[in-house]
Structure 1
Amino acid sequence: MAQDTVLEINQLKKYFPITKGFFKKKVGDVKAVDDISLNLKRGSTLAIVGESGSGKTTFAKSIMRFYDVTEGSIIFDGRDITNLTANELKKLKQEMQMVHQDPSTSLNPRKKIKDILEAPLKIHNIGDAKSREARVKELIRLVELPEEFLNRYPHSLSGGQKQRIGIARALALNPKLLLLDEPTSALDVSVQAKIITLLRDLQERLNLTYLFITHDLSLVRNFADNVAVMYLGSVVEYSDVETLYKHPQNPYTQSLLSSIPVVNENEQSMLPHKIPLDGEIPSPTKMPSGCKFHTRCPYATEKCLERPAFTKTKYNTYTSCHYAEEIDSGKVKLHV
């Protein structure tokens, strides 16, 4: 692993068994994460995007080791964390933390804010009562909330304030990596912008690395460095953020970009590829053969019944699509 790489994912799979009958006989698998390999550079932001049901959250929780992985390896900061004991996992949590999607359900309603922020320090036996109190006050200031909030309960806070507390709690142990699981999806648009600005400022000040899970591509362009597009448990396109918007190579990526609302011609010119996304995402218990997207793709041919390789494109990005290969060879017109 290179020194500037904080996270290396190698052929990661997470399957959930499907059982039937009184004796719970295994009859298949839900392939929630299906053979993903990615690297994440220190101090950068990698966005994982895709529809609901594409496996984004399961992928994040597998990295956090909330789930045991089926196959593959997870290398974090030069250490293989794929198979760790309970004590080793506890130590790992000091370096990897997660900010959850809904702050209303991730904060204990019976605890005051000061107790919520102090909990990680107590669990990991860090400092004494005085130093923990000082750290809690530092954390509340770090997320730009007044110290008087420490004596409040979560129900008295707005959604944006609760999410700031969730971020502060995640920062309590000085982690190197934050997994952000749709941290703004439960918030109003105006509040979303403030949370994104806060996260960007914290990343710069604390040299944090983010894995940003989202279905909202409109947030990604001004926040992430690189983007991995997931569909039915697999990454179908990987690109730096600017190239993804200008030259998306996978029809699924183009469909996601087409769904971004635009209000003027300038925004429209930034999203030149318009492909409607029809139908529902298939069940992960019954994966389509070949290219997983071919059942919804407007360009599907018989060739798509074969699974495409994950290959490099002429734009120095990666995608798994026979159609993208034909684009490069000039056989298919890109704009329709």
Structure 2
Amino acid sequence: MRTSSIAVALVVCLGCDEVSTDGTSGVGGSGGEAEGGHAIDDPFEGATPLDVAVESGPTFVDLDGPAVVDETDDWELRFEGVDIHTNGGASGDGQSKAFGPLSAETFLTDSVPSDLPFMIVDEPGGAFVDWYAYDGTAHALYSRYHVIGVRRGDELFKIQILGYYGEEEGAPVSALIQARSARVTPEEVGSTTHWENIDATAGGPSPTEDDPSGCIVLGTGERIDLTPSEAAASTEWDLCFRRDGIIVNGGQGGPGGVEAVNLQAAGLDGETLEEVAERTAESELALFDAVDYAALTAPGLAWRGDGVVSAFTGGWLTIGDEIAVVEGTWVVAGKDGVTPFFVTFESVTGASPSAAGTIHLYVKKVGGTLP
């Protein structure tokens, strides 16, 4: 859940028909009174409702309608299982991208927030997808300081991301990644490599296919600048850093056969923005130092290459004993990459851990300029 630790969730019980944003059963957001008799504002004023039935295959949505359409039509969002992808990057031939969740109150406005930091293009991702928590008020990224295991064949490494920000000529710069890593063998944990200012800037908030990512080789300490197409053809690198995304050279991330695992993934749902923001490289050094060969070879670890992740991945629906629809606002770029839309989720009907059932959402075309 990329930013779900800072969002408010609406609980949709397994086996329940539906829970709406006002706490009552049924679809709709027309205001009136919630249970208990208190008046509520209409959170969907000026927006258009749309029901999206997610069945056996992908379902495509044109936000300009909004309407469910065929794959051959213009579309912005693809729904499949519990995943939502945008028509751009690794998921389509359009220029769609997204960011969120922002606050639910953002949906009541009519323009893209002027301080929206960047948009997220669909790209390969996996063990690193939740490496940070996002503060929507300060528009700041805070590393969770999770330790990620990285495996290339018989070689094992551990890496901890220390921050998203660096300095150039005394001025703070985003997307200059700080990290530390070490090789791990049955005999010992090697010396720590300190990675300063890994260049993930990729040309700015809206990178093109010609803008390189900052890629690293954990075994040698080498840094390589590779465009997405160059990275897709190279087995040399282990990790590529592109804006806030960290890509593993395995699965859909690349041809290198590299796998990774988040050793603290089980604690993600319980982390709050406040506690994450208090962590520092010093306070989390013990967590990094504690990871040895036994920790990286423990049974049951979910080693994997990358799949495709989007701004919605893990952030719009939480799944456990309960299914929770996240209350918030996503900014989505139209297929043209320019036209902005707001999307918010009201409720789901018939959801299961593997399929979202019917999703009740609202769409609003807004003004402003996307980053």
TM-score, normalisation: structure 2: 0.23
**Structure 1 or 2: more strand by fraction:** 2
Q: Which has the higher contact order (CA 8 A, sep 6+)?
A: 2
Q: When you count helix as a share of all residues, which structure comes out higher?
A: 1
TM-score normalised by length of structure 1: 0.25
